[in-house]
Every structure is written in structure tokens, then in C-alpha cells.
Amino acid sequence: MSRRVAIVTGASSGIGEQTALALKKEGYEVYAVARRLDRMQGLADQGVHVFAMDVTDDASMTAGIARVMEERGRIDVLVNNAGYGSYGALEDVPIDEARRQFEVNVFGLARLIQLVTPHMRAAKQGRIINVSSIGGKFYEPMGSWYHATKFAVEGLSDSLRIELRPHGIDVVIIEPGPIRTEWNQTSRDNLVATSRDGAYAEQAETVRRVLESGDSRRRSSPPEVVARKIVKAAVSSSPRARYPVGKGAGTLMTARKLLPDVAFDALVRRVYS
Ligand code: NDP
């Protein structure tokens, strides 16, 4: 039988890169995709198939999935990992940037699911692993668009889990806590560029500092930790609906579950003041 095939988006750095390597080690035929092809040379050197894909470009996604089917004839696992943090006061974020945030974090993910499910349904098996965040359950000031996308990924994945079950396709949500990747710096840069001046300048500086402190070794985990969890979700005979992963993720999710809004708001306000 041919080897199981996995596709990993956002594989040019961080969680996606480590996940591509970990799945390769697990024995999968791995396709790693992102916009920056040059940043995936290291993966290619280790036997991972790499090609460019922009998850905001329909033609690029359609051609990518067709290519994998042509070369391998099967897709067993899709890891929807590409994403970034569009931070800034909601009032300051241009609505086109908010749309772009949804294009990358939600519509790209959903479009790829549309493209792989016909093949998974035909095979009566498959696994879709969506990288959400603890930010799909908790919230921060200046992060409304990012959190809106991750809350959307949670709702979409929960509905889809029930919808695809009769077709033999599992849907799994990964909820990382703070992970040391390029994500944090990108989010901080977006925040500063958007709300550095004006009515929200002081709040923006506070949130920037909190984000930065979350990037420290003491508070965050390396991306390999998430990659291991994704492999577990890929190979488990009965995967869980969601896997919180990384320092503090489990505790925070439990607190969000147990605390009423007023108490959780107070907690968030305390951290971000
Ligand atoms: P990185 O910034 O290191 O990686 C993000 C990846 O997404 C890159 O490979 C980038 O590739 C890709 N990407 C961004 N835009 C696009 C696009 N339009 N088309 C295709 N690929 C794109 O961050 P992480 O590894 O940390 O992030 C991976 C996922 O994990 C994201 O969904 C993020 O929200 C989530 N997450 C991260 C946490 C963290 O603390 N780091 C915590 C919780 C969740 P390229 O630019 O080459 O296209």
C-alpha cells in the first residue's frame, strides 16, 4: 500500500515547519506549503515535498491539491496551520486588513477543506487538523480580529466534526498556548503599526509588552511541542475533539470554562493593565 500522505500549510516557519518534519519522521509522505518557497529548502533537503501556496489565492490552493492527488492519489491528513495575528484597536484596523485576517485564518482553511473532502469522502477516511489557539476561547484587548478568526475556527471545526463523521473523516482542533515562533513578533509589529498613535496608544503599548513577555522562555514553549501533539492527533485511532498544548494552555482553558464572564474579564483586565 502507498504511504499515507499529509499536507501542512504555513510550513515555512514555526509550528508548520516542525509539524512537517515530525510527520515525515512518523512515516508520512509530507507536502509542506507556504508562500516563501526559499524558507522551505531545509525541509526539502530532508525529503519533504515543498511548493508555494498562498491560502488567499483560490487558484494556488486548487492547483496545489490537484498536484498532490496527481502525484500520490490520496490525501490522508490536512494540517491547516497557516495564520498570523492582526493586532490593533478595532477602531484603528482598516476593514480591508480585517478581511485579509479572515481570508488567511478562516477562508483559506475552509477552502482547503472543501478541496480535500471529496477525496477523503471517496476513500471513506481522512483527518483534518485545524490549528486554532487558546485565543479561540479566551480574548485580549487589541486582538479582536485575531480572536474573531480563531473563535470562528473553533465553531467551524465543531460543526464540521459532526458533519463529516458519517463520511469517516475526523476533525481535530489544536489549541496552542504561547509558542516561540515568528508569530509573536509579527503580531507585535502589526499592533504597533496600527495603534501606536492616537486614542489607543497607551493601551497598545501595554498589550505589546504583555505579548513580548509571553514570548519569553519561561512563559512559552517551542514549536516542537505542538508538532508532537499534531502527530498524536494524526495517528490516534480515536482522536479527541481538541488538544490544548504548551505552557499554561490547559490551565487557561479550564479557567475559561469555569469562570463566569465577569470574573474572567477581571482576570484579563488585570493582566493587560
Ligand atoms: P509563524 O509566523 O512562525 O508561521 C506562520 C506560517 O503561516 C508561515 O509559514 C507563513 O508562511 C504562513 N502564512 C501566513 N500567511 C499566509 C498565506 N497568506 N498563505 C499561506 N501561508 C501563510 O507562526 P506560528 O508557527 O506560530 O503559527 C502557526 C499557527 O499557529 C497560526 O495559525 C497561529 O495563529 C497559530 N498559533 C500560534 C501561537 C503562537 O504563540 N506562536 C499560539 C496559538 C496559535 P509564508 O509567510 O511563507 O506564507
- What global pTM score does this model have? 0.98
d(C-alpha 141, C-alpha 273), whole Å: 10
The number of the ligand 1 atom at minimal distance from the alpha carbon of 35 is 48
- The answer to whether residues 79 and 26 touch, using CB atoms and an 8 Å cutoff, is no
Nearest CA to ligand 1 atom 32: 83
Of 271, 149, 273, the C-alpha closest to 219 is 271
178 lines ligand 1 (CB under 6 A): yes
Nearest CA to ligand 1 atom 31: 83
User: What are the structural domains of the chain?
Assistant: 5-271 (3.40.50.720)
- Please work out, in degrees rounded to the nearest 5, the angle formed at the alpha carbon of residue 167 by the alpha carbons of 164 and 170: 50
d(C-alpha 14, C-alpha 206), whole Å: 25
Amino acid making up residue 213 = S
Among all residues, which ones are annotated catalytic? 146
25 lines ligand 1 (CB under 6 A): no
Distance from the alpha carbon of residue 81 to the mean position of ligand 1, in angstroms: 6
**What are the residues whose beta carbons fall under 8 Å from the beta carbon of 202, sequence distance 6 or more?**
none
16 lines ligand 1 (CB under 6 A): yes
Q: What secondary structure, in 3-state letters, does the chain show?
A: CCCCEEEEECCCCHHHHHHHHHHHHCCCEEEEEECCHHHHHHHHHCCCEEEECCCCCHHHHHHHHHHHHHHHCCCCEEEECCCCCCCCCCCCCCHHHHHHHHHHHHHHHHHHHHHHHHHHHHHCCEEEEEECCHHHCCCCCCCHHHHHHHHHHHHHHHHHHHHHHHHCEEEEEEEECCECCCHHHHHHHHHHHHHCCCCCHHHHHHHHHHHHHHCCCCCCECHHHHHHHHHHHHHCCCCCCEEEECCCHHHHHHHHHHCCHHHHHHHHHHHCC
Q: What is the pLDDT along the chain (273 residues), one digit of tens a residue?
A: 789 999 999 999 999 999 999 999 999 999 999 999 999 999 999 999 999 999 999 999 999 999 999 999 999 999 999 999 999 999 999 999 999 999 999 999 999 999 999 999 999 999 999 999 999 999 999 999 999 999 999 999 999 999 999 999 999 999 999 999 999 999 999 999 999 999 999 999 999 999 999 999 999 999 999 999 999 999 999 999 999 999 999 999 999 999 999 999 999 999 999
